[in-house]
Amino acid sequence: MFLENTINPNKNKGWIEVICGSMFSGKTEELIRRMKRAKFAKQNVEIFKPGIDTRYDEKMVVSHDANEIHSTPVPSSSNIPILANNVDVVGIDEAQFFDDGLVNVCNQLANSGVRVIVAGLDMDFKGVPFGPMPGIMACAEYVTKVHAICMKCGDLANHSHRIIDQEELVLLGEVDEYEPLCRTCYNNATKK
């Protein structure tokens, strides 16, 4: 069980937390909750998101439930350590859209005493591990997998099923483009 640690009195002890799952599972909501708790505890926090994610707002990280927190959009993972000066906690949303260098960035920050909280899709719409997420999950001290509800049967969903005919890997979308499905319903929907 993950025990949320809100204070890092020993600056030499950093770690990595991952919040992963399908679309509509509450990943961003949980990231925002953890970041707001750290801010309430008077910790210095900085949140980053990929510059390509402008679905709800250019600068804010926004959940599907419209909760939000200010963030810094960056074009690549290499910008994060440069901008994360004198912070106790770094949040990273939509991590699957970053380059593979994000794994090293997260480790570098954690090794320097920073609590790193990463949220992202663990699988793409084809059911394949997505971007740097598998590497970050392997290095993390804590991994929280959250689930949506299957739109077909009501079971726990862990797949993001694309419901439009587009094959490119990165397609920012919402309920008109994706639906959460359980393993069985996903397999049935993707049979060819």
Distance spanning both ends of the chain, measured CA to CA: 39
Q: What is the DSSP code string of 52-66? A: T--SS-SSEEE-TT-
Query: Catalytic residue at 68?
Result: no
| Burial class (CB within 10 angstroms; exposed 0-12, middle 13-18, buried 19+) of 165 | exposed
Rounded to whole angstroms, what are the CA distances from 26 to 29, 52, 66, 74? Answer: 5, 20, 11, 22
DSSP reduced 3-state for 84: coil
Q: Which of 17, 30, 46, 94 is catalytic?
A: 94
Check: CB of residue 147 under 8 Å from CB of residue 154: no
Closest CA to 47 of 23, 67, 65, 64: 67
- Tell me the two tokens of residue 31: 């990231």
Q: Annotated catalytic sites, by residue? A: 94
